[in-house]
Structure 1
Amino acid sequence: MTMGALRRSAFRLRTYQPSRWMWLAWIVPVLLVVAAIVVLAANGMRALPSVDDFTRSYPGVSTHPAATPVGVPAWLAWQHGLNAFFILFVIRTGWQVRTTKRPSIFWTRTNTGWLRTKNPPIRITLDLWQHIVFDTLWLVNGIVFYVLLFATGQWLKIVPTNWDVIPNAVSASLQYASLNWPTDNGWAHYNALQLLSYFTVVFVAAPIALVTGLRMSPGFSARFRRLDRVFPLPVARKLHFAVFVFFVAFIVVHVLLVLTTGARANLNHMYAARNDDGWLGVWIFVGSILLMATIWIGARPVVVRAIAARGGRIIHRQR
């Protein structure tokens, strides 16, 4: 090999930048191996007489109040679809805020007079502006959800009311892990593991995301310095990211189970508020995916800048 070829090879090695998606080349096989081990272990445990007796005593569905409503109302189906849309872009914009090292486009509110004096505008990145917009939409949708949830009694389907939810959740976990799905009817009530998962999402993770997000917001942080001692920003950031990871994991598992445990019936419940074998829920779901994909692709910087400019001033950092 000539000296010139050696220099070119050395240059290529120095300038080689591995793709940020290269981690998938090893993490996916590792996850598959771990999943296989979990399935084998769960089936081995269920073959034990004591574990078999346990799953018979606790089939996976906890005791629920007699007043628990049956069915999925139309408002809940719409709320679920809107929430899926908003949370997707909350996650996307949140990841952009976290991973963009040197943002070059900023946004600031345009206000004059009394409002400018009492509440001076703060410059934020365009990614953060997007994140706040989708957070606000998600929050408004969540408030409507909370009101309707308690007004219609649907809260009884996702709030534990009996301590037998714990052993039943363990039993349901074993059934899922062994790929022997729990035999329950989501139209009437959720199994114990679903109940605990939905309770955690609605009443634990979502409020933590809201509180930590507010604590991290530039305007809030600048005006409430006294909170630095009782609720430091680094703590808020760590909690916010932990909730981000939880939501991503929950969505992946949730979608996987919806599609593998009777997709048509599940989608009819969730998107069409119907308990039949029709295809309406499937088509609504497909339509929502196409809509989200279209907006995902269409949300290019030039489009986002044009929308943001209608409510504020766009500032470009000089490179």
Structure 2
Amino acid sequence: MAAEAAPEAPGRTDAVTRDVRRGLPREPGGEPWPPASAAPGAADAVAGVPPTAEAVAGGVRRGLPREPGGEPWPPASAAPADGAVPGAAPSEASASLDGAAPVANAAPVADSAPREAPAPPADAAPRPPLTVRRTVWPGAAARRAASVAAPAARQPTASRPSLGDYSPVQLLGSTAVLGVFALALAGIAVLLARFVLAIGPGREFLAAFPGEYPLPASAPVGLPTWLNWSHFLNSLFLLLIIRTGWQVRREKRPAAFWSPRNDKKRRISLALWFHQALDILWIANGVVFVVLLVVTGQWMRIVPTSWEVFPNALSAALQYASLDWPTENGWVNYNSLQQLSYFAITFVAAPLAIVSGVRLSGVWPKNAARLNRLYPVEWARKVHFPTMLFFVAFIAVHVFLVLATGALRNLNHMYAARGAVDPEAFTGDPTGLLLFAASLVVMAGAWIAARPAVLVPIARLFGEVKQR
């Protein structure tokens, strides 16, 4: 600044007393430095700075050296530009040769009180840039602030890959690799099962537990016709329930919505309505099935009545794995592995599917806070889908074993209610096979008919349907 005194800001004195420039106090609340009594040049001696550090060489004010032990800056040979005012403030020393403005973010001297820069004299001429190169640049904080202020471009959200994202060659290659891996695991399981049954302890275990145990003397023999019909309806309803359940899980834009007549505010997709309608039919068929099981005594065929069921089930599993099918006659008695499987699907998996499905349906009271805390909807979701996967796995294994362990004999038992106590008495009656083929035609027709064009008229009998 020029030698004239500017108005003092609170806590700061920049007045020039006896040609000595005075600045901030060295201590809070102290006198501006250097003291008013100091003579020109005495401030350097008091501060411990060599007299040359503040000397004026050739009209250029020189300051501290840029490096320890170096020459005061700027060099003594530097001449001031035309019109330069001696004793310029240090805040303007960072201007570049090309006329750049003083650096805005130069670090000020720490001071607890707010300060204002002294106003220049009214008759002061504009200061040209100093003849020194620029040494102060905006730091990382300034660049970071600028990048935060600018709105970042929105990146597209990564979606979950689907089968449509892969080429046919990729799908075929993945299927081939998985198939080879599955065959390798199956081969290892077969070899291991054969090895276990070939050694002495394995043969003794197989002799003690052949795979089944005798039923109670009061157990019925044979399969009645009502059980064949119940088996067919159960297969049909389960097929459509799995289809609609998967559709509800994957559907994003339903083609139609259904609402009950007495509550038009409640609206569900047409697929969900069909899924719940099938659930009702499936539950009704299951209730009739269980009641008839108890009344006719058929329950003894699928409910274990002895602890021997567990070692015999292990024996049957080893025989299946070794590809040496256990000797059985389902017309009289199931093997222990079949018995445990039928018991689990009837009295464990089916109730879990019903209980979790009711919690997820509109039948569940939404305002029952205490009941909802006791049975959260998240638990139902965690149970319902794995139960569906268990049904799919059971159906796949069940159909494979029915066809692989004597298709004609097993289909006669399950669809035609025909069989004999002696398994050798079977003569190859194709009735069961024909009925099974007819049931497949009915299932295929129901699968094709499960579309809005067919379901909308049926759904309107029980409520209102709105299509897109």
Please indicate, yes or no, whether the TM-score normalized by the shorter chain is above 0.5: yes
Unpaired stretches in structure 2, ≥5 consecutive residues:
1-163, 420-425
Say if 2:239 is the partner of 1:88: yes
Q: Which amino acid aligns with 1:38?
A: A
Displacement after TM superposition at 1:194 (Å)? 0.3
Say if 2:327 is the partner of 1:220: no
Which SS does the other structure have where 1:218 is aligned? coil
Say if 2:448 is the partner of 1:306: no
Q: Which amino acid aligns with 2:185?
A: V
CA contact 2:233–2:285 (8 Å) conserved in 1? yes
Distance in 2, matches of 1:110 and 1:42, equals: 60
Please point out which of 147, 162, 165 is paired with 1:17.
Answer: 165
Q: RMSD across aligned C-alpha pairs, in angstroms?
A: 2.0
Q: What is the match of residue 9 of structure 1?
A: none
Distance in 1, matches of 2:367 and 2:282, equals: 24
CA contact 2:206–2:315 (8 Å) conserved in 1? yes
CA contact 2:261–2:464 (8 Å) conserved in 1? yes
Displacement after TM superposition at 1:18 (Å)? 2.4
Please point out which of 114, 121, 140 is paired with 2:284.
Answer: 140
CA contact 1:212–1:236 (8 Å) conserved in 2? yes
Q: Which amino acid aligns with 1:107?
A: W
Superposition TM-score, scaled by structure 1 size: 0.87
Which SS does the other structure have where 2:257 is aligned? strand
Q: What is the match of residue 325 of structure 2?
A: 181
1 or 2 for the larger relative contact order (CA 8 Å, sep ≥6)?
1
Q: What is the match of residue 289 of structure 1?
A: 440
Q: Which amino acid aligns with 1:298?
A: A
Larger fraction in helix: 1
Displacement after TM superposition at 1:47 (Å)? 1.5
Deviations 1:21-64 (A, max 9, x none): 94645444333332222112211221121111101110000232
Which SS does the other structure have where 1:289 is aligned? helix
- Between stretches 212-221 and 249-258, larger displacement belongs to 212-221
Q: Aligned residues: percent identity?
A: 51
Which SS does the other structure have where 1:222 is aligned? coil
Deviations 1:228-267 (A, max 9, x none): 3222111111111111011000000000000000000000
Which SS does the other structure have where 1:67 is aligned? coil
Change (3 A) 1:55 1:122: same
Displacement after TM superposition at 1:143 (Å)? 0.9
Q: Which amino acid aligns with 1:154?
A: Q
CA contact 2:316–2:335 (8 Å) conserved in 1? yes
Distance in 2, matches of 1:73 and 1:292, equals: 22
Superposition TM-score, scaled by structure 2 size: 0.60
Q: What is the match of residue 296 of structure 2?
A: 152
CA contact 2:196–2:202 (8 Å) conserved in 1? yes
Unpaired stretches in structure 1, ≥5 consecutive residues:
1-15
Distance in 1, matches of 2:371 and 2:167, equals: 40
Q: Which amino acid aligns with 1:307?
A: I
